[in-house]
Amino acid sequence: MPTAKDFLVGRTLSKGWKVTQKVTNPTGETGGHFSSGYLVESPTGKPHFLKAIDFEAAMRAKDPARALQALTEMFNLERDILNLSKSKRMSHVVTVIEDGTENVSVPDAPGGGPAQTVQYLIFELAHESLRHMVTVSKRLPMSQALKALHNVANGLRQLHGVQVAHQDMKPSNALRFVDGVFKVCDVGRASMKGRAAPHDGLSVAGERTYAPPELLYGQVDPDFVVRRLGCDAYLLGSLAAFLITGLPMTAMIIDELDSAARPTVWTGTYAAVLGQVRAAYARALDRVANDIPTEAPYREELLQCIRQLCDPDPDLRGHPVTRATLAGTGNVYDLERYISIFDRLALEAGIHERRKASR
């Protein structure tokens, strides 16, 4: 059944934004099953991206009261995180321009119905997402891929700096803007330390296809750092693997696992299956290595980064020096070292690509 958010196209919102087009394959994000994306124009004619939240859809859920509460909490958390990132001037997190509500009447609602409220967020408009830049047949030049990794790591670290874990860092949630900068978007599945979120009870907050293996096997550490920042570190490594192979690390690991040891089948503990996961991980890493040219100057260091970031054991994940330095005192998954490494490797890859092209 159509709801208010389906009748936004052609409408000028009360704050002067003109909704021009519904986006089915957005270069923004939809961020869930209760939202839609639109292209909008500012009063000055500049294009932006609008994310509309469908509270009406929650009313059709099995338990509307709970669904509505969850959606409201999720929206408020997302809005607060985005406003926080804006106020902290986070350079690699997508900037929210405005948020508001709009009353929209639904023409074919039974009895004409009262106007429904649409809550929205308006963002700067991205050029494209990593998901669409990396095609299965054509990979991103490694200088670009490493720049994306550098920028995404920066965005995640900026969020971590305010105790926010993204938890859904996948290719479609890394957006490239016209100035070539990549930013992290869709904080709809994020968690903020000390603040409850409706998805807190789920072992996997983001999309399972990308999730770290410990969460798929149901090993949920009560510690915010291990469970949530550790998840982000894995997702960054998985993104690197995706940029090289076209597949997320999780899918590669599970593909290498015996069917009886896969998370959808395994009923034992994570500790009991970790040996098998690690053996599968080694084979998955070999696949990644096979897809990096042997002569590439960044090869070994990039593989090392992926190996550390995607370690199936969250207690061993991340940069070993950072782990040793910050153990027991802070975020052992601090991405600072990776930001430096990806930055340097992007430069080296650029030089390598230019030399190759000039030959």
Query: Among residues 120 and 281, whose Cβ is nearest to another protein?
Result: 281
Counting contacts by CB under 8 A, is residue 335 touching another protein? no
CB burial of 48-77 (b: ≥16 within 10 Å; e: otherwise) equals bbbbbbbbbbbeeeeeeeebbebbebbbeb
Counting contacts by CB under 8 A, is residue 287 touching another protein? yes
Choosing from 69, 117, 135, 325, the residue that interacts with another protein (CB under 8 A) is 135
3-state secondary structure of 347: helix
What does the DSSP 8-state code read for residue 93?
B
Counting contacts by CB under 8 A, is residue 24 touching another protein? yes
Query: Among residues 39 and 215, whose Cβ is nearest to another protein?
Result: 215
Counting contacts by CB under 8 A, is residue 268 touching another protein? yes
Counting contacts by CB under 8 A, is residue 69 touching another protein? no
Query: Among residues 127 and 287, whose Cβ is nearest to another protein?
Result: 287
Counting contacts by CB under 8 A, is residue 329 touching another protein? no
Residue in 136, 99, 152 with CA at minimum distance from that of residue 291: 136
Residue type, 92: H
- Phi, psi values for residue 193, rounded to 5°: -60, 130
The interface region with another protein, picked from 104-112, 254-262, 317-325, 337-345 by CB under 8 A, is 254-262
Choosing from 128, 200, 223, 255, the residue that interacts with another protein (CB under 8 A) is 255
Counting contacts by CB under 8 A, is residue 111 touching another protein? no
How many Cα atoms sit within 13 Å of 124 on the Cβ side? 19
Distance CA 109, CA 51 (A): 22
Counting contacts by CB under 8 A, is residue 188 touching another protein? no
Query: Among residues 62 and 89, whose Cβ is nearest to another protein?
Result: 62
* Helices and strands in the chain: count of H runs, count of E runs: 12, 10
Show the beta-strand stretches assigned E in the chain. Answer: 18-23, 35-41, 47-53, 96-104, 116-124, 128-129, 164-165, 174-176, 182-184, 191-192
Counting contacts by CB under 8 A, is residue 198 touching another protein? no
Distance CA 107, CA 113 (A): 8
Choosing from 6, 41, 207, 221, the residue that interacts with another protein (CB under 8 A) is 207
Q: Which residues contact another protein (rule: CB under 8 A)?
A: 24-25, 33, 131-132, 135-139, 207-209, 211, 216, 245-248, 250-252, 254-255, 258, 260-269, 271-272, 274-276, 278-279, 281-282, 285-287, 289-291, 307, 311, 313, 316
